Amino acid sequence: MKKTWKINLFTVIFLMAILLPFVWLVLASFKNMKELYAYPVQILPSSWSIRNFAEALREQPILQYVKNSFLVSGIATLLIIVICSMTSFSLARTAIKGKKIILLLILTIALLPPVTLLNPIYMMLSNLNMLNSITGLALVMVAVELPSGVWYLMGFFQTIPMELEESAMIDGASVPQIFTKILIPIVSPGVFTISIMTFINVWNNYIFASVLNPTKKARTVTVALTMFSGETYTPWHLIAAAAVFVSIPIIIVVLILQRRIISGMLEGGVKG
């Protein structure tokens, strides 16, 4: 009984620590500047109007930035699913020379701080005339997210017995057929988890998006949140409203797919 009480208390404290910043953000999105800086602290806004949301949409083309983020995240996720699946399958099933070195390099790249890659990536895109483009940023995010995805998904392929593929080959199935019709359905929880986590990571990315796509036509929504400015102050009430607005798609995706995400991560933890 005492142990259960302690666990419940810890859970409540943990949830409060996680939810408190977002609850404050939602409340701030309905307040004006005076209420934000009121002392003593005013927890609830005096009115629950959508004035801040409307003003934020007028000041910045948030919908265009949301579209850009969807395009970048969608393209990057689709490419990562295809490339990561084939790469993981190849590394898990072939005894190529230097395989351990390749895996070590993949792990090393996955652990590198993103800022260390920023300068060479910027120079490469500049030489290719791909700065300020949706495609360029999407390809960069594929390169950034791919190593961790390959390392994660390879654990799924390694748990599949070779006898399954050998039986399919005896029945006349080709390697592409075995890969697409037999193996991919088996590792689909891992593929699904990687796709969702990649989409969220790309959507939330700031450092690459701010440096590689600074212009308005290709700007993503995370960068747009830093573009709000007043003549003599920072309009935190508008920033809060915009942040809530752009968080809604991710929250909806997570709420709808939470069971698939958790099950895929747990299976990956066991299989990896």
In this prediction, residue 49 carries a pLDDT of 82
> Tokens for 154?
């390879």
pLDDT at residue 231 tops 70: no
The model's pLDDT over 162-192, given as tens digits with 9 standing for 90+, comes to 888 888 888 888 888 888 888 888 888 888 8
Rounded Cα gap, residues 233 and 80, in angstroms = 41
Give the number of other Cβ atoms within 10 Å of residue 217's Cβ.
11
Query: What's CA 60's distance to the chain center, in Å?
Result: 23
Integer Cα distance of 123 and 113 in angstroms: 18
Predicted confidence (pLDDT) per residue in 11-68, tens digit: 888 888 888 888 888 888 888 888 888 888 888 888 888 888 888 888 888 889 999 9
For residue 270, what pLDDT is reported?
46
Query: What DSSP state is assigned to residue 182?
Result: I
- pLDDT (0 to 100) of residue 2: 59
Report the Cα–Cα distance between both ends of the chain, in Å, rounded.
35
Tens digits of residue pLDDT in 123-156: 999 999 999 999 999 999 999 998 888 888 888 8
Report the share of the chain in percent with pLDDT over 90.
Answer: 19
Average pLDDT, the chain: 84
Higher model confidence: residue 12 or residue 70? 70
Helices (H), 2-46: 2-28, 33-36
Question: Would you state the pLDDT for residue 1?
Answer: 54
Residue 75 pLDDT > 50: yes
Does 101 score more than 50 pLDDT?
Answer: yes
pLDDT at residue 264, rounded to an integer:
56
Of 230 and 259, the structure prediction assigns the larger pLDDT to 259
pLDDT of residue 271: 47
Q: Tell me the average pLDDT across 79-97.
A: 87
- Is 262:193 a contact under the CB 8 Å cutoff? no
Section 116-128 average pLDDT: 90
Distance CA 112, CA 170 (A): 43
Side-chain half-sphere exposure of 104, counting CA atoms within 13 A: 4
With beta carbons less than 8 A apart as the criterion, state whether 165 and 182 touch.
Answer: yes
Q: Which two tokens stand for residue 145?
A: 């997210």
